[in-house]
Every structure is written in C-alpha cells, then in structure tokens.
Structure 1
Amino acid sequence: MNGKTVKIIFFLTFFLGVKNSFATNTFLTREFLCDSCNKDLNLRFESSSFFKNNEYESDFATGFTGIGVMFKPTLEYYFNKSTKLNFGAFGLKYSGLDGLSQLVPIYQIHHKVTNGFELVFGSLYGNLNHYLAEPLYRFDRYYLDNVEYGVQILNYSEFIDSDLWLNWEQFILEGDPFQEEFTLGNHSKIKFLNKKRYQVAGDCQLLIYHKGGEIDSYNGPAFSLFNGSYGFDFSLKSQYLSYSIRPKILVYKSLGLPDEGENYKHYKNGNGFLFSGDIEHDYFYFESGYWSGNKFVSSSGEYLYMSIAESDLDFHQDNRQLFFTKFRLKRHMSNNLKLELRMNLYVDLRNDVLPDYSFGVYFIANELFFLKKDK
C-alpha cells in the first residue's frame, strides 16, 4: 500500500468518523419556532468558513478562488411561542483583504399565524434555503450575495411545502440615479404520494426579477425577467440510502429588455430541460445529470447553463448541452456543527473545451446559547 493510498484512507476515516445527521442541505438556516419558548432571550451564533475554487475553462462562466468566513451573531427573543425577534449583524471576511467585505445589520421578525403558516419580515431565510435548481440559482451566491431582505411566507403541511418571498434588493428615493430592484420567488412542492419508503411530488419554482421605478432619474427602461421550473421528484428510501430522479422543464421570458447597455441580454425568450438523479447516504451525496438549454437566461442562475456569458455581453450560443456530476462528503457532528467537501464536474457537450470543475470545503456552525428568561 503506497503513501498516497494511506493518506486517502486516513482522510476518509477522519471525515466520516462520527455519526452524521441526515440532511441534504448542509446550509439550511431556516428554524422552526420553539413551542416551549416564552420570554426567552438567547444568543445565536451562525458562521460559515469556506474555501471555494472554480476552475472554469469555458467562455460562459468566470473562474473564482476564495477563502473566507461569514458570521452572523444575533440576539434572539421570544415574545411568545408564536413570535420571535432576531437582531444582530452579518459580516463577510475574505482572506487576503484587509477589513470586512460586507457588514449588514440583521433584523428579523418571525411569526406563526397558525399551524403550517408563518410570516417572516426583514432578513429572510434566503439563498440556499429556497432549494432552487442550479440553472435558476447559482451556488456561489451563498457567499457573494447571502443576505436577503423583504417579506417571506412559509407554508408547510403533510402534502405541500411552499416558500414565497419578496427580496427587495435596491430601494430608491426620489431623484436617485439608479433603479429599484427586487426578486419575487416561489418554490412549492406538492406531495402526490408521501409514504415512508417512497414519495412522488410535483416541483414548481418561480423567479421574477424586476428593475425599474417611477421616481428615479435613471435614463433607461424598466424591464423584468421571468424564470420558471416545472417537474417531478421521484424518491425512494432504503435503510441507508435515498434515491431520487428529478426531471424538470425550465422557461425564460423577458419584458422590456433594452437593446444595448449594461442590462442588455442577447436573448429575450428561451427554455431548457434538466434531468438528474442522485443517491444520498448519511456520509456522502452523489448526483449526475444532463442539461439541454435553448437561448436560456436566468437572473440568478449558474452561467454554465446559460446561452450568454458572465463577463462578455456579446458572447452567446443558442444551444447549450452539459453533462454534470456532483459529489459531496459530509461530516455532521451535530445539527449545529457540519463539515462538507464538495466537488462538481461540468462537461460541455457542444464545444471542444476542457471540462469545468469546482471544489470547496465548508465548515458550518449554528449554535444557540440561552441567556435568560423574563418573568
């Protein structure tokens, strides 16, 4: 046995050497309200240390290498079991840069109207909590644009899970030289069959991005981008593994896009087909799939799937075809402490280029510290 093999075995033993909690989304921060909490004051500390490297050879997406940490300390107060307040700050620090790249105040009110129906005002359970398909939502927005502010409606029951949100990205005052921006989104999963061992669900995802306004002084048209994804999730669970197949049809439509300038898009309408299958274990996740896009553009998606380029407005290709594979190793020490290694490979089936690939390591902490209880 050579030294390289020994190192690999040692790494896997370390990485998988603890009991995992089964969770597809390591980055989930959405919290259910505590039914036994009333007048409780807590300190919640969330952090994500990351190393991400994108080695992209194609002309559609730009490479990236970043090491950094995101942190979000907040005071959490329960007025009663149905309403809690979080108040604090979000910070982003990249290694190699002096100071913070972002420092954003955090204010959130989370209220349960009734069982299965909740309202969130202020800082949303955003980004990867929305569970959007990668052509609609780029994973890198997790650290590039983490904080979302607006209004969110969460609805969950035995047969439906729905996340409806309005992310207000740019507020304007009268005379401002820029336009207002917001994204309206919804992800709903309708469970047609919901058994212990298998599930069949309809999956609907929607994003509407709007840039405009009536009181600004910006000299340019208002426009909107519409993206939708419609498909099914077929899932089967065994004692140790979960298997899923996820076919989806995606659409892209626009309204009022300018013919030139920074907001120019070469395509006004398009569509795509996404087919993927995955296997998940407590310790690993493997996914493989196929993408076929025709003039597809997304306001927040991964550029590898699009027909336009990230950094060149004039570069475009009508038809895009990709084969992709994703692999993750998971070490979840608890529900509040998680370590994950991710590796993605994208093969362009229509262009003679080397495969694009990325890898990253993420250490996630989300701990709650009880401070006091008011009488």
Structure 2
Amino acid sequence: MMNGFFNWIFFCTAFLLTVLQKTQAQTNTSTLEDTFSYNASKLGKVQFRFSALTFVRNNEYFNNIADGYTLFGYYLNPKVSYQPHEKVSLELGAFARKEFGTKGFKELQPTFTLQIKQNNWRFLFGNIEGNINHRMIEPMMSFERLVSNPLEHGVQVKYQKISRLKKTNTDDETYFDAWLDWQRSTSPGQTNQEYFWQGMSFYSPAVEVAGFKLKALAQSSVYHMGGQNIQSLQPVRTLINTAVGVRVQKDFLTNQSLVADNYVVNYFESPLRGSAYYLNGYWQHPKFQVGVSYWFGHYFSSPMGNDLFQSYSRKFKYDEYYEPYRSILILRLVKDWKVIDGLNVSLRVEPHYDVQNGKFEHSEGLYVKYQLH
C-alpha cells in the first residue's frame, strides 16, 4: 500500500508540473476569497455587484470516519451596493445555490451587509465574509465550506494591512479576523437549540531573521449549542478549539518561496480533551503550488473542521465509531488561473495516505469564481 501511495504521488506531481509549464497562476487561495474595495468615485451612486462560483468536488474516502461523495453545482449572489459615505457601504442582494442532480435550489436567501471602514479596519454586520475568508486551518474549518456552507450571518471585525518589510523588496500582510456566525436561533418554550460559531484568526507582521521571514499564527474557535428555557432533551455543549503556530518562509530565485506552517492544535469540551500536531511545507512557484501536510491527532474534534481530521466518526451509520489516533500524510497540488479581471479558476488535487489504517484516499476539486465590482 505504501509503495502504491508514493507511486501515485510521483505520477500526480509529474503530471501537474507538465501541465503547468505553459500557464500563469496565483499561488494562494486569495483568488477564491471575497474581495471588497471602497471607491470614492462611487459615493452616492447605486452600483450593481455580482458574485458566482461554479464547483465540482469529489471525495474518494473509504474509511470509517468520513463519507465519500461528490458536490457539483454553482451559486449566484447578485447585489445592489450603495455608499452614502466614504467609510460606509450597504449591500442588498439574493443568494441562490444549486446542486446538480437535485430539483430546485438547495438554498435561496436574501443577503444584506452593512460595512464600516476605518483605516485598515472593517466592521461587517449582516452577511459576513465567511468560509475560506477566515483563513483557518483545515482541521478547524474545512475548505469544503466554500461550497457547502457559503453564507454566514452575524458580525465581523477584520484588519488587513500590507507593508514593505525593512531592508527587502517584498510586501507582507498583517491579518486579523474575528467573527460571530449565528447559525440557528431559538426562544423560550421551543424544542430546538440555538447554534452559534465564533472565531478568531491572526497572522502577525513578519520578522526578517538571517534571510528567513518569521510570522506568528494563532486561531481559535468556539461552537455553542444550547439556549435558555427551551424544551430540548439535547445537552448544552460548548466545543473549543485553538491553534498556535509559526510560519517560516525562505524566498529564492524569482518570486519563489519555501514555506513551513507548523501548528499545535487543541480541542476541549468538558470533560473531553484532545490535541494534535499539524505540519505543512509548501513550494510556492509563480505558476503553481506544491505542498505536503502531516496530521497527527489524539482524540481531536472540531465541528467546522474537515471530517478526515476528526477522531469521532461523521460517516453515515457510524455514529458510535471513533479512532483515538488519526495520522494522515497529504500531498497538495494547487493551480490557479486568472482568466480575466474578476474571473479565476482553481484546481486542487489532494491524495493522502491514512497511516493508522493503511488506506490511500484522495479528493479533487475544480472551482471557477467570478466577481463583478
């Protein structure tokens, strides 16, 4: 099994590198993130904005922790925007999500966002910039939420600042995101619990040390299920996850980098506890990105995280199953194309080896995102 795994890694790497030699690309996930810019020339004017994503994601999983399935469809979010002030923006729109092979829309909702900008800070109320925009690690927030749970509702505070590193010609981004996603409400006498998710993601300014760029990384997540004076037999639960890490980056040649992101991750839900190590190494090239990740978890659980990293099964009809240890080696092959301004394509191929169970599995995804501002 292990020999077959490494043969497959070699084949995927060789194939992707052959394809990529004649194409242009970005080297991170920013092409799939939501972007917003204040435009002083649009003050007092009504603008039409539009966001759409077409996706196909295939998960070939054969373990007892995560189900295998395919997601294939699109979502649309046309919006009308108005800036009454240079620091204030209002957006009103409609969101529709369609999964192929089903009748009608999977999701159909109105959207509204009030946004206030102060220097490098932004404050959002209503529909916030969710899923991959939080820049969380996969064990704590699955990349798949981009297509399965694209909308988040609540309040958000974001800080983003681009600055030039001293004595270098490279830019560095400081990033902070704190949010509250209110997923389900309840009221006294009701039988359903309220669900909400609050989190924080932080990337510190980089420091140059002996030719290496160092950056501190910190993330936290709190998921609560409960409510007061409700008639529910379900227990009140609060699940807490934290991750602290460091990024080490070495730039070389022309716009190429070797990056290592390493985390210590924790889980707490009284009286349960879990922990993990999450190690990542990437080669960032102007045309592609190749990475290797290793996950070693012990009784770990995260409600928003990718199913593969959990110790407690989420597979259909395996509710009581768990694995105290999860050990996974992942190869990540990423290719992004910028077709025109606002239109981006992202290809992701992620074979992995389940060390504990001796299983080779894989997932692939193709995402086409369009944003009109």
TM-score (norm: length of structure 1) = 0.86
| Residues 5-84 of structure 1 mapped to structure 2, 5 A cutoff | 12=19, 17=23, 19-20=24-25, 23-84=28-89
Q: Describe the superposition over 1:295-338 as per-residue Cα deviations: whole angstroms up to 9, x where unpaired.
A: 11111111211111112221111111111111012211234101
Alignment counterpart, residue 99 of structure 1, candidates 92, 96, 104: 104
- Whether the 8 Å CA contact 1:110–1:121 is kept in 2: the answer is yes
Q: Describe the superposition over 1:83-140 as per-residue Cα deviations: whole angstroms up to 9, x where unpaired.
A: 111111111111111110101110001101x212221000000000001101101122
Alignment counterpart, residue 351 of structure 2, candidates 326, 339, 345: 345
| Residues 239-278 of structure 1 mapped to structure 2, 5 A cutoff | 239-255=254-270, 268-278=272-282
Alignment counterpart, residue 213 of structure 1, candidates 227, 241, 255: 227
Q: What is the distance in 1 between the residues matched to 2:331 and 2:27?
A: 21
- SS of 1:97 mapped into structure 2: coil
Q: What is the distance in 2 between the residues matched to 1:22 and 1:359?
A: 17
Q: Which residue of structure 2 aligns with residue 236 of structure 1?
A: 250
| 2:264 partner letter | I
Q: Which residue of structure 2 aligns with residue 166 of structure 1?
A: 180
Shift of 1:352: 2.7
Q: What is the distance in 1 between the residues matched to 2:206 and 2:143?
A: 29
Shift of 1:23: 4.4
- Whether the 8 Å CA contact 2:27–2:335 is kept in 1: the answer is no
Q: Which residue of structure 1 aligns with residue 205 of structure 2?
A: 191
Q: Which residue of structure 2 aligns with residue 279 of structure 1?
A: 283
Q: What is the distance in 1 between the residues matched to 2:365 and 2:25?
A: 19
- Whether the 8 Å CA contact 1:30–1:129 is kept in 2: the answer is no
2:92 is the alignment partner of 1:87: yes
Q: Describe the superposition over 1:124-177 as per-residue Cα deviations: whole angstroms up to 9, x where unpaired.
A: 000000011011011222111110000000123457421000000001133221
Q: Which residue of structure 2 aligns with residue 324 of structure 1?
A: 330
2:303 is the alignment partner of 1:299: yes
- 5+ residue gaps, structure 1: 1-7, 257-267, 369-375
Q: What is the distance in 1 between the residues matched to 2:140 and 2:75?
A: 23
- Whether the 8 Å CA contact 2:26–2:335 is kept in 1: the answer is no
- SS of 1:26 mapped into structure 2: helix
| 2:346 partner letter | E
Alignment counterpart, residue 288 of structure 1, candidates 287, 292, 300: 292
Q: What is the aligned-residue identity percentage?
A: 24
Compared CA separation, residues 20 and 247, structure 1 to 2 (3 A): closer
Q: What is the distance in 2 between the residues matched to 1:12 and 1:41?
A: 43
Shift of 1:199: 2.7
- Whether the 8 Å CA contact 2:187–2:227 is kept in 1: the answer is no
Q: Which residue of structure 2 aligns with residue 261 of structure 1?
A: none
Q: Which residue of structure 2 aligns with residue 333 of structure 1?
A: 339
- SS of 2:239 mapped into structure 1: strand
Q: Which residue of structure 2 aligns with residue 372 of structure 1?
A: none
- Whether the 8 Å CA contact 1:21–1:335 is kept in 2: the answer is no
- SS of 1:175 mapped into structure 2: coil
2:185 is the alignment partner of 1:181: no
Output the aligned Cα RMSD: 2.1
Q: Describe the superposition over 1:193-245 as per-residue Cα deviations: whole angstroms up to 9, x where unpaired.
A: 169x8531110000000010003221232110000110001123332323210
Q: What is the distance in 2 between the residues matched to 1:296 and 1:84?
A: 40
Shift of 1:16: 5.1
Q: What is the distance in 2 between the residues matched to 1:186 and 1:89?
A: 27
Shift of 1:345: 1.2
- Whether the 8 Å CA contact 1:191–1:199 is kept in 2: the answer is no
Q: Which residue of structure 1 aligns with residue 168 of structure 2?
A: none
| 2:44 partner letter | K
- Whether the 8 Å CA contact 1:35–1:82 is kept in 2: the answer is no
Q: Which residue of structure 2 aligns with residue 265 of structure 1?
A: none
Q: What is the distance in 2 between the residues matched to 1:24 and 1:140?
A: 13
| 2:37 partner letter | F
Shift of 1:366: 0.5
Compared CA separation, residues 363 and 160, structure 1 to 2 (3 A): closer
Q: Which residue of structure 1 aligns with residue 9 of structure 2?
A: none
